[in-house]
Amino acid sequence: MTIATADAQRRAQTVSAWSFDVFDTFLLRACTTPDGVFERTYELSGISRTCPNISANFVQHRIQAEARARRTAKEKRGGSEVHIGEIYSFFPFRLFGLARSDLNDLVETEFAAELELCRANPDMLRQYLDMKRDGHCVGFISDTYWDSGRLARLLQACRPGLTWDFLYASCDHGSSKSEALFAKYLSEQGIDAGASFHVGDNETADIKGAKRHGIRPRYYPQATAQLASKFQRETTLFELLCTGAPSRLDHGARTLRRMVAARGAEKSLPFHLGLTVLGPVMTAYDAFVARRCEDVSGPGRQVALGFLGRDGFLSHRVWQDLHGMTSAYLEINRRVSLIASADTMQPIVDLLGKIFKIDGPTFGDIMKIMPPKVAAFFADCPGGIASGEELAEALPGLMDPPEIVALAAGLRARLLAYLRSAIPGFDECTDLVLADLGYSGSVQKALRRVFDIEGINIRLHGAYLISLDDAFDDIADQDSAEGFISDLVVTPHVKRMLIRNVALLEQICCSADGSVCDYHGAEVLREINPRPADQIALAAEIQAGVLAFAESAEDVALDVCLDPYADPAVAARWCAATLTRLLLLPDHDELTLLGGLKHDVNLGTHALAPMIDGDFIRSQITARGLSAACTALAPPMWLAGSFAQLSPSHAYFYALFGANRLPADVFEERPCGQVQVGLFRGNGDATLETVTVHHNGLGELRLRIPLSRSMAVTMIALPLARFAPDGLLHGVTVQQDDDVRDAAESQDVTDLAEDSLIFAGLQRTGSHYRTETEDGCLLIPVAPMTQDIAVYSVAITPLRSGRK
């Protein structure tokens, strides 16, 4: 053994000192980011009363004051370390109705905010106490504008009785850990650098700074890079969706998420998604459901709680884990409840009218009967398929009311028998809370009609994760409905954007079984489940991560003295931001993981709809424009994911549109010129037609070329050399209908295959082309038309202008 090896082993066995970073390592703050302290300072100071609703302004000025103070210190003293008083000396007092004499008051208020928000990190505290108990020298080294006196007060406030061997604050020594603070600590304490450790969260100051002085570092990051990126996106969406609300004070919800994630074992990506994203949402929703049950309770009331299946399956599992067997899982869907509630034709008409397409066998699966007139109706439909709207309009003439009444009465009896079996003490129940993902309370309303028909005096109370609140005006007077993410949390515009993309959440949260179609005694009869086995397994793994968060969150919150759900409004806003981030701004890993999911329609059909289709969005933008693409009807079911598949920027455009923050005069197209297009007929004749060139906010040029069947055009010649000699061709699409307006607005867009296009006088590499001659053209073949009008659209990003 060499002398060097023996010396290394000796040092590994004898650690003489352990130093800890303070903020975001030994101490955690109950806010989203460190500048949450500034936001709380604003709230605690008189400024929040004299200048309300400008916390963001205060925070930014506090940040700018610190930057100016550090620049000035660097210029005057050669170092950028400053005390808190120096920072506030650069604060714009007059702007906020203050005088310079208020400086000390602001300093004390900010320190009061630190005292309120800081907590000892139990993981670091245990390590600290272990090292102290083993006889090591332990203490703190912090880059901070708080002097060692205030830093000591803060540490002992968070952990009464805490002692240390050394305490270094960078502002007291005019040097940071990245500079000479570590060297000063080693020198003054007489510590052997090679036999000491430093624990911290900052890779530059704590890790590289320690290594530079021979100290062995232990990295304690607040979050992984991937989770930190999610947090940043969530904050962006919070500020977009919850305008005016404090965006940094969340009662420690994000700190709790970081702690749970840090303590969790390394598992699969789906599990991690459940643990770090959906787990916090569903746990906060569980607290909301618990409050709803408390709100409807009272003297003489017997309250029962039921989670509506299939989408309520995951929230029911969370409730079971946190509260035991105190709820029921009720497999009731819109179809079953509406049919059971029908004492007239109208509920059936309403149900069928919302179906996109339907055939005879599907109708039979839904209604369990096939009247001769209905069979004849489908026989007369092209291919035996009708739209739900067409069937709903014809149905009153195809079925007699007594048929509906008899059908509904039978299903109603079976439904009530099932409820009595699933809910203990059903007949003694006075109030039934229905928990579900949401949205308009259709099952609750249908159950109300069922109970009224049968003379059952049970009040119904909806407890929904997401609610379309304007749909609750017709809730019965004795009943109630409330959404966790309500229209008081986000705007109705945002809510409808969330609902448009909620199919992803439904697939993750629902059970592995098919949807209920009927009952036999206490037994649920279900449709065949058409979802692939790997999709069901993926959902189960995500759900396992959700349950892992729910099971550990309460213990961790107690350990860190956090109460993230104390304020329901704050919890709802942050859950909205967390859920919206997943649905609207997924990262690459989430797109890869979730993009292949399929959505089952659950109306007697085995059809599966795709979640994402980026090509569909590209075609819609080419043919109809960005705003029209943002309002595209399903499928694809996950419209935001389809935008994200194009690029993160496209996904953010969609989020801006849904938040009503995408100005049409910026992003929509406007005319920028004209060009003559050649139209060639099969007989060899050719004409020139003038079409308008449009320019949109994405920097693309778009042309629409309308053709009528009578024109008999077989080829379009687009002279790219005239207006876009060098560019990227995004595609050529065609839409058809009976007139120009309907064709241009049609969502039925067909992409022309690239190999069908002819690049005459053009050099092409992938989507990039460059004209080689002054008459370089794109030749577009025109297929035989099936309707009177066809509109050909071309989208190009020019790389240099063709105009002089």
DSSP per position, 456-504: ---EEEEEEEE--GGG-TTS-TT-EEEEEE-TTTS-HHHHHHHHHTTHH
The DSSP line for 245-260 is S-SS--TTHHHHHHHH
Decide if 90 is inside a domain: yes
Decide if 403 is inside a domain: no
Q: What is residue 12's predicted lDDT score, i.e. its pLDDT?
A: 41
Q: Is the Cα torsion angle 359, 361, 367, 370 positive or negative in sign?
A: positive
Burial profile 347-369: b = 16 or more Cβ within 10 angstroms, e = fewer: bbbebbeebebbbbebbebbbee
User: Domain check: are 562 and 620 in the same one?
Assistant: no
User: Domain check: are 634 and 745 in the same one?
Assistant: no
CA angle 132, 134, 140 (to 5 degrees): 25
User: Domain check: are 546 and 660 in the same one?
Assistant: no
Domain end (from 203, 222, 241): 222
Domain end (from 193, 222, 251): 222
Q: What is residue 399's predicted lDDT score, i.e. its pLDDT?
A: 85
User: Domain check: are 97 and 207 in the same one?
Assistant: yes
Decide if 705 is inside a domain: yes
pTM: 0.91
Q: What is residue 721's predicted lDDT score, i.e. its pLDDT?
A: 94
User: Domain check: are 103 and 168 in the same one?
Assistant: yes
Decide if 439 is inside a domain: no
Q: What is residue 612's predicted lDDT score, i.e. its pLDDT?
A: 95
List of the chain residues with pLDDT < 70? 1-15, 601-606, 801-804
Decide if 3 is inside a domain: no
User: Domain check: are 153 and 254 in the same one?
Assistant: no
Q: Specify the number of domains making up the chain.
A: 4
User: Domain check: are 659 and 740 in the same one?
Assistant: no
Note down the domain range covering 730: 669-800
Domain end (from 623, 642, 665): 665
User: Domain check: are 195 and 145 in the same one?
Assistant: yes
User: Domain check: are 748 and 683 in the same one?
Assistant: yes
Decide if 557 is inside a domain: yes
Q: What is residue 804's predicted lDDT score, i.e. its pLDDT?
A: 37
29: nearest Cα among 150, 155, 114: 114
User: Domain check: are 60 and 204 in the same one?
Assistant: yes
Decide if 471 is inside a domain: no
CATH number (domain holding residue 34): 3.40.50.1000
Decide if 741 is inside a domain: yes
User: Domain check: are 661 and 703 in the same one?
Assistant: no
User: Domain check: are 547 and 651 in the same one?
Assistant: no
Q: What is residue 732's predicted lDDT score, i.e. its pLDDT?
A: 97
478: nearest Cα among 455, 448, 440, 454: 448
Q: What is residue 4's predicted lDDT score, i.e. its pLDDT?
A: 45
